[in-house]
């Protein structure tokens, strides 16, 4: 494993444990040359392939890292741990696999991400929803915000 700080491949594992949902192994590592610590996740390769149908009809392979990156962006400067985000991204992926479809629309993926963010952090949920749902004006945004404050769950995007 190459160190993300100094790019050397001389490290050692300090701690290994399964993630809470059991879908990955979390390894805490230290780079011997620079002494920095970092975390890696090990997952089973070759799980059932999942493809994403984009809004414009293009089809591409599902990339869990994109889901995680969107969640990280929504949770920026919020009190949400990286472990919680990893677990949520894993849940999204496994929920999509459990649908039994080899191809899933990007809207379905976005809705699952919104559901997870709503459980994690309401501010992150509203941030993600404002981009995902493409509110046309402030009234739509405020309506969603009032719904979240009022305790309602994530709303399905109208088709």
What is the extent of the structural domain holding 26? 10-45
pLDDT mean by block of 10 residues, the chain; 159 residues: 93 90 85 95 67 91 92 94 91 88 91 92 86 73 74 52
pTM of the shown model: 0.64
**28 and 101, same structural domain?**
no
Domain count, the chain: 2
CA distance 129 to 155: 9
**56 and 40, same structural domain?**
no
| Dihedral angle sign, alpha carbons of residues 53, 101, 69, 116 | positive
**36 and 59, same structural domain?**
no
CA distance 101 to 131: 26
Query: Is 159 part of a structural domain of the chain?
Result: no
**72 and 144, same structural domain?**
yes
């Amino acid at each position: 494993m190459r160190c993300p700080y100094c790019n050397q491949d001389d490290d050692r594992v300090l701690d290994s444990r399964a993630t809470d949902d059991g879908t990955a192994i979390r390894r805490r590592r230290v780079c011997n040359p620079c002494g920095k610590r970092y975390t890696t996740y090990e997952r089973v390769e070759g799980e059932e392939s999942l493809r994403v149908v984009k809004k414009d009809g293009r089809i591409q392979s599902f990339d869990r890292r994109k889901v995680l990156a969107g969640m990280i962006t929504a949770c920026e400067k919020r009190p949400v741990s990286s472990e919680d985000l990893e677990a949520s991204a894993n849940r999204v992926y496994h929920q999509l696999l459990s649908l039994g479809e080899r191809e899933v629309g990007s809207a379905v993926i976005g809705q699952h991400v919104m559901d997870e963010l709503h459980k994690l952090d309401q501010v992150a949920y509203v941030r993600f929803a404002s981009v995902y749902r493409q509110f046309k004006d402030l009234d739509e945004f405020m309506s969603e915000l009032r719904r979240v404050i009022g305790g309602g769950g994530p709303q399905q995007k109208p088709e």
